[in-house]
Amino acid sequence: MSFSSPRPAAIGIDFGTSHTVATIRRADGRVHQQLFDGSPQLPSAVFMNDEGGPVVGADAVHSGRRRPERFEPNPKRRIDDESILLGETEIPVTSVIAAVLSRVARECEQTLGSLGPVTVTVPAAWGPTRRHVVADAAAAAGLGQVDLVAEPVAAASYFMETLSVDVRPGNGVVVYDLGGGTFDATVLRRGPSGFEVLAVDGAPDLGGLDFDQALAEHLAATVQPEDERWARLTGPSESADLRHRAAFMDEVRQAKERLSRSATTDLTIPLLDVDTHLTRGQLEEVCAPLVMRTIRVTQGVIRESGLAKDQITALFLVGAASRMPLVATKLHRELGIAPAAIEQPELAVSEGGLAAHQTVSSPVSVPSPALPPQTAAPQSAVPQPTPVLPPQDTNQTLPLMHPSAPQPTPQAVLHPSPVTQPAMAAPQGPPPGSPPLQYPQGPAYPAPQPEPAAPWIKSKQGLSVVGAAAAVVVLALAVLIGLKYLRQDDTGDLAGGADPQTEESSAGDQNASSSNGENQENAEASDGLVPIADAVTGDLVGEFPQAHVGAVTAVETGTVDNAPVAITAGDDYIVRVWDLESGEKEGEFRGHSDTLDVLTAFDYEGRTLVFSRDYGTEAVWYADDPEHPLATRDAGYSTVYWAGVWDGVPAYMTDYEVVQLVNGQKIADVSTEYADFTQVEDVDGYLRQVGVSENRVFVNDLATGESTTGTFDQLGYDVTAFAAGGAAGKALGLTVTANGSVQGWHLAAAEPYGTAAMELSQAVTRAWIVELQSEATALLQGDQGLSLYDMEDGTQIGELFAAHSGEDLVQDTAVIEVTGHPVAVTGSAGGDVEVWSLE
């Protein structure tokens, strides 16, 4: 009797930036993870011991705390280096990676007795050079000839084969892979023999380590920031301080992981020996800018894939950092696709490699990324290799900033609201072959603000007060009318004029009249408002207390019957229109069921047209008739960069097309570059994409995606806020960096404009360019309020005003003129809308 040979065991290895995972499929079909020191995750760290041999895994991490100069925590990030210096020994990068894979080979061999076929997963965007480094390292580690499988193909195969997700042939999936040190987004289409990569992009310098770093910087800025011992944690030089730093970062990482499971946690800061309390809301506020960066990359690959939304079957989350609740929430909100999450996303790629290696045993070819991060090349350019990362002496990817430095803030799409149109030449026609371009008629997309884990109105606190909210609103309206909070005198100025009730009092009682007059003056003084005719920079000239239940999330301005109005959205999902001269509510739009991500208003044929969008619905309506919208439809998931009049019709612009605002139909194609900040602005008569990439301002042609100006200076610090707009007869840009530097830029000339200012009183989150008394002025919003700086000479105008901090931060700002007087309208997290004089 003859017997066939049993099928050999197979091994799938996911060589990751922070950890490596190996999954074994035994001959009888059983699948399980190989354990390393009792854990399925082997730290990918390597340490050179005194005997000149490499130590891998948890022991390497432990030894690296004592001798960081001999320690490499993330060999995968060094894939482009020729060699790595560990202590006094320079080792080829292939040998360092081979040390990690050798540990995997030894452990698996002890488990199985002998090694069978091996699959190693690699990023889909890696070219032949990097793949050969891994293949050579695997051979040197004793794994023999291995099959290389793209990580997103492995992930998709895991969800399809192991979790039985049904993906029909011809349909696609999106794989969102957020690991310890890198991020990749990939769109794949299922074919007859497996998955085909349609588009891939990523960030080789973004992962869970960077979330740890951001949280550490937050702690350094908020917990006893004046303590001099922070310098020993942020820039350690002595061995003892290096150990304190390592212990601190372990505390931070563990706190981050606990906040993925619970709403609050405590941690100890070593060296300072203090305990501090953290909430999930604080973590999400700190990490929101990093998450939004990954979402923009994901939007780019979806665009490049050419698949329609109904052709995308699923969105898969893999990588340990993807388990953060904020990731799934933001993805669902921004893309309109419910992510498929699993309990241990860090294991999916390794196990999926076993399912995928029979259908994909050779490296897949991938198309050029749609929006390559941080590059000014046009879309047709060939993707460049990942830049070589500098050697690192610790197990962190970035040094902590000095605790006194302003903290990084959400990178967002910013749009100016100039008080007056600049004195510029009329826009010219588009270049030959370009779509017709019109001068933008209004601001576009409000910057995303840090969000709580759930909308306020859905929280226990929100539900407990909703019952009383109606009565409060009615009472507030009565108080507003009684106090004349934005009173008009005979000239129509804000906060001025006499009380009509005083005029109606008995004319025969002179003493009573005098008394009433005195009471009126005292009332005006007590409410804190200054008549707009008497106001100077920073004075409060109007207010709408509790304009919304919960936070005010967006503010725009416009006109109704030639009178200036503020248009505000809140956590209560309502958009309200307020008359800035009379102080009355003009109307409201109630067609949304979630917090808005877009609110924009601009003039169209003499009326203010409003475009509002939440995660489920987008609507178009006039500010003077919000109860009767022109159109409502299901919301798209593309980012809106601009809204205004395009070739005579109202439209909005995404990163790849112009859409007719009312009917939702595409009317033109555009080409944009992925960037940290982007907006659309008129530059020398043409609409251009203006933004910041790699801390450098750029101006690109919307038809070709190519640069239209010279090279701007590289900024020495990360840009935390950006704006563009017309003022002083020029198209200008404005950057604010992490050290507080405020610099203007002449966009057409690609050179600095004016003298740099320094904003040291607050961490700036948003910026606008406004024109005050014919001068270009920077309006800055931060964690303390608002401030103004002359962009020509760099001097501050007045003092910091609109003071808001802590839980009542200013969320959004817009500017407009009221009776010829420029004002800033702000909305706060406490629900108040306030009006501040700018001159």
What per-residue confidence (pLDDT) applies to 461? 39
DSSP calls for 599-642: EEEEEETTEEEEEEE-SSEEEEEETT-TTS-SEEEE---SPP-E
The mean per-residue pLDDT over the stretch 96-110 comes to 94
Termini Cα distance of the chain: 100
Does 2 have pLDDT greater than 60?
no
Q: Name the DSSP letter for residue 426.
A: P
What per-residue confidence (pLDDT) applies to 416? 32
Residue 366 domain-assigned? no
Does 215 have pLDDT greater than 80?
yes
CA–CA dist 59, 45 (Å, integer): 9
pLDDT in tens, 449-480: 433 334 444 343 343 433 444 444 344 444 44
pLDDT in tens, 295-319: 999 999 999 999 988 899 999 998 8
693: which strand partners? 696
Number of domains, the chain: 1
Lowest mean pLDDT among 192-206, 274-288, 386-400, 576-590: 386-400
What per-residue confidence (pLDDT) applies to 470? 41
Between 487 and 591, residue with greater pLDDT: 591
Nearest CA among 346, 335, 382 for reference residue 173 = 335
Q: Is 837 exposed, middle or buried (0-12, 13-18, 19+ CB in 10 A)?
A: buried
Q: Range of 118's domain?
A: 1-145
Lowest mean pLDDT among 74-83, 520-529, 615-624, 817-826: 520-529
pLDDT in tens, 144-180: 889 999 999 998 888 887 777 888 888 999 999 998 8
Does 74 have pLDDT greater than 70?
yes
Q: Confidence class of residue 717 from pLDDT cuts 50, 70 and 90?
A: confident
Tokens of 2: 């003859």
Does 89 have pLDDT greater than 80?
yes
Residue 168 domain-assigned? no
What per-residue confidence (pLDDT) applies to 240? 77
Q: Strand 19-25 to strand 31-33: parallel, antiparallel, or no bridges (unpaired)?
A: antiparallel
CA distances from 695 to 295, 449, 738 (A): 20, 21, 11
Per the CB < 8 A criterion, the answer to whether 486 and 522 are in contact is: no
Does 24 have pLDDT greater than 80?
yes
What per-residue confidence (pLDDT) applies to 358? 43
Q: Is 277 exposed, middle or buried (0-12, 13-18, 19+ CB in 10 A)?
A: exposed
Residue 605 domain-assigned? no
What per-residue confidence (pLDDT) applies to 545? 94
The region, left, alpha or beta by phi > 0 then psi within -120 to 50, assigned to residue 809 is beta
DSSP SS3 for 41:
coil
The mean per-residue pLDDT over the stretch 243-253 comes to 86
Q: Name the DSSP letter for residue 707.
A: B
What per-residue confidence (pLDDT) applies to 338? 84
**Residue matched to tokens 């612009």:** 653
Residue 405 domain-assigned? no
CA angle 416, 419, 422 (to 5 degrees): 85
Does 254 have pLDDT greater than 50?
yes
On average, the pLDDT of the chain sits at 79
CA–CA dist 354, 525 (Å, integer): 75
Does 37 have pLDDT greater than 90?
no
CA distances from 793 to 714, 734, 742, 789 (A): 21, 14, 11, 9
CA–centroid distance for 386 within its chain: 22
Residue 13 domain-assigned? yes
pLDDT in tens, 361-419: 333 333 333 333 332 333 333 333 333 323 333 222 222 333 233 333 322 232 333 33
Nearest CA among 585, 582, 581 for reference residue 547 = 585
Residue 451 domain-assigned? no
Task: Give me the amino acid identity at 448.
Answer: P
- Provide the CATH number for the domain around residue 14: 3.30.420.40
The mean per-residue pLDDT over the stretch 136-150 comes to 92
Lowest mean pLDDT among 135-144, 154-163, 222-231: 154-163
Output Rg (C-alpha) for the chain, integer angstroms: 29
Does 513 have pLDDT greater than 70?
no
The mean per-residue pLDDT over the stretch 272-293 comes to 90
Q: Confidence class of residue 270 from pLDDT cuts 50, 70 and 90?
A: confident
Does 279 have pLDDT greater than 50?
yes
DSSP calls for 319-378: SGGGGSHHHHHHHHHHHS--EE--S-GGGHHHHHHHHHTTT--SPPP-PPPSS-TT----
What per-residue confidence (pLDDT) applies to 750? 93
Does 589 have pLDDT greater than 90?
yes
The mean per-residue pLDDT over the stretch 580-608 comes to 94
Give 232's Cβ-side CA count (13 Å radius). Answer: 15
Give 563's Cβ-side CA count (13 Å radius). Answer: 19
Give 821's Cβ-side CA count (13 Å radius). Answer: 28
Q: Confidence class of residue 357 from pLDDT cuts 50, 70 and 90?
A: low
Q: Strand 686-693 to strand 575-579: parallel, antiparallel, or no bridges (unpaired)?
A: unpaired
What per-residue confidence (pLDDT) applies to 673? 84
Per the CB < 8 A criterion, the answer to whether 527 and 485 are in contact is: yes
DSSP SS3 for 781:
strand
Between 324 and 631, residue with greater pLDDT: 631
CA–CA dist 149, 766 (Å, integer): 43
CA–CA dist 481, 534 (Å, integer): 22
Per the CB < 8 A criterion, the answer to whether 617 and 596 are in contact is: no
The mean per-residue pLDDT over the stretch 176-200 comes to 88
CA distances from 137 to 112, 142, 512 (A): 21, 9, 95
Does 425 have pLDDT greater than 50?
no
Between 507 and 256, residue with greater pLDDT: 256
Lowest mean pLDDT among 94-103, 257-266, 460-469, 802-811: 460-469
CA distances from 430 to 433, 688, 702 (A): 8, 11, 10
CA–CA dist 55, 27 (Å, integer): 31
Neighbours of 407 (CB within 10 A): 18
Q: Which residues contact 319 (CB under 8 A, 6 or more apart)?
A: 176, 177, 178, 179, 180, 183, 207, 208, 345, 346, 349
Helix (H), strand (E), coil (C) string for 177-199: EECCCCEEEEEEEEECCEEEEEE
Neighbours of 593 (CB within 10 A): 10
Q: Is 359 exposed, middle or buried (0-12, 13-18, 19+ CB in 10 A)?
A: middle
Residue 511 domain-assigned? no
CA distances from 661 to 89, 329, 589, 621, 650 (A): 63, 27, 17, 10, 5
Alpha helix ranges (H) inside 141-229: 151-157, 208-222
Between 429 and 559, residue with greater pLDDT: 559
DSSP calls for 790-820: ETTT--EEEEEES---GGG-EEEEEEEEETT
What per-residue confidence (pLDDT) applies to 52? 73
Tokens of 397: 């990817």
What per-residue confidence (pLDDT) applies to 382? 32
DSSP calls for 5-40: PPPPPEEEEEE-SSEEEEEEE-TTS-EEEPPBTTBS
Does 7 have pLDDT greater than 60?
no
What per-residue confidence (pLDDT) applies to 515? 39
Give the global pTM: 0.47
The mean per-residue pLDDT over the stretch 631-660 comes to 90
Does 554 have pLDDT greater than 50?
yes
